[in-house]
Amino acid sequence: MSFVLVLAKKSALRVHLEREEERGFARVQELLAQNDATVARMRGAHEQHERALTELNEALLALGCEVRLVVAAALDEFRVVIDHPAQGLLPSTSVHDSTRPSGRRPVLVITLGGDGTLLAASHAIGDTPVLAINSAPDFSVGFFCGGRLGSVQATLARALEGKLEAVRLRRMRVERNGELLSQRVLNEALVCSASPAATTRYLLQHRGVVEEQKSSGIWIGPAAGSTAAQRSAGGRILPLASDKLQFVVREPYTPAGESLRFPRGLVAPDQELVVRMKTADGRVFVDGPHEVHEATLGDVLTFRASEEPLTLLGVSRRRRGWR
């Protein structure tokens, strides 16, 4: 019997409905009753996500899998554990190495949601293969999803049989003054000031050259994030299976007649990018807004390729949109 771990998000609508004591609950209810355009997608996404959760449950039972299901109210932390029918509870919030008292490891991790769910869950996943399922394909981006609502059982069966193509995605390691902040950054890290209106000042060290820069911050990340913020800021799309990191400076300040030597660049697997902070109230955001670290004047931030890639199933390295 295959042991499978499922990491599923709660839909935005369910999160609102379960927080009746909060001030925003009444406002959401009012907008839903009015069919307001600002919440129209919320209802549709919720309905599809609930159908996908039922479909996945039925598929796992039909395939005879032993299952642990973790549901996250906030995608940065999968800490809300619920019963799976006749299967018990997950005793730990981490899925690296062991997730059961016996030490038995899952043969597969399934994320149910979209790319955001995969991104959030990836920080808890070591070397176990991952199948991401897009639970609301009409409302959610699912570029990294190898399955989707309506074809869950067929996709899951192929995954368990080892018939889905696998790609190993490079992740990034981030250190502050030699202290490890994260070694599983899949999309990007953003180095900037605490205030979005403030100028970020720092020394950027790349390939033995140090350049003083002023900007709105720097995006640094592996290939998996190159179609997101890096691209929007002027970066290039890297091959999906590339081992290189990319950095892109946001809105650089350049005096008249001057230019930056390193407005963007690539970092090879045997290299590192170093950022020395000249800003007292700096921040390092990791894979979105939820994980954030302080960085103050004199702090040294180091970015290099991680030795822990993420194995993703059902996604071709030649997927449309990539070189």
Count CB atoms within 10 A of the CB of residue 86: 8
Using 50 as the pLDDT threshold, list the residues of the chain that sit under it: 79-102, 320, 322-323
Supply the pLDDT for residue 4: 94
164, 188, 213 — which closes off a domain? 164
Phi-psi region of 82 (alpha: psi -120 to 50; beta: other; left: phi over 0): beta
Q: What angle do CA 307, 146, 149 make, to 5 degrees?
A: 140
Q: How far apart are CA 301 and CA 282, in angstroms?
A: 11
| Residue pair 169/241 in contact by the 8 Å Cβ criterion | yes
User: What is the chain's Cα-based Rg?
Assistant: 21
Q: Is residue 191 located within the same domain as residue 137?
A: no
Please report, as a single letter, which amino acid is at residue 203: L
Tell me, what's the pLDDT at 94?
A: 36
| Tens of pLDDT, residues 27-50 | 888 888 898 998 889 989 999 999
Residue 146 lies in a domain: yes
Parent domain of 240: 172-307
Element (H, E) at 24: helix 23-33
What is residue 82's predicted lDDT score, i.e. its pLDDT? 32
Give CB contacts under 8 A, 24+ apart, made by 50-56. 50/11, 51/149, 52/112, 52/133, 52/135, 52/136, 52/149, 52/152, 53/8, 53/112, 53/135, 55/149, 55/150, 55/152, 55/153, 56/6, 56/8, 56/110, 56/112, 56/133, 56/152, 56/156
Distant-in-sequence, close-in-space partners of 286: CB < 8 Å, separation ≥ 6: 174, 181, 182, 185, 189, 292, 293
**How many C-beta atoms surround the C-beta of residue 191 within 10 A?**
26
36 lies in a domain? yes
Do the domain assignments include residue 112? Answer: yes
Residues 188 and 286 in one domain: yes
Determine the pLDDT at residue 77: 55
Whether residue 186 lies inside any domain: the answer is yes
223 in the same domain as 291: yes
Place of tokens 């700096």: 282
> Are 282 and 215 contacting, i.e. CB atoms less than 8 angstroms apart?
no
Residue 74 sits in the same domain as residue 148:
yes
User: Is 314 within the bounds of a domain?
Assistant: no
Residue with tokens 């000042």: 201
Q: What is the CATH number of the domain that holds 67?
A: 3.40.50
Do residue 152 and residue 241 come from a single domain? no
**Are 296 and 222 in the same domain?**
yes
Asked whether residue 319 is assigned to any structural domain, the reply reads no
Please state the domain count of the chain: 2
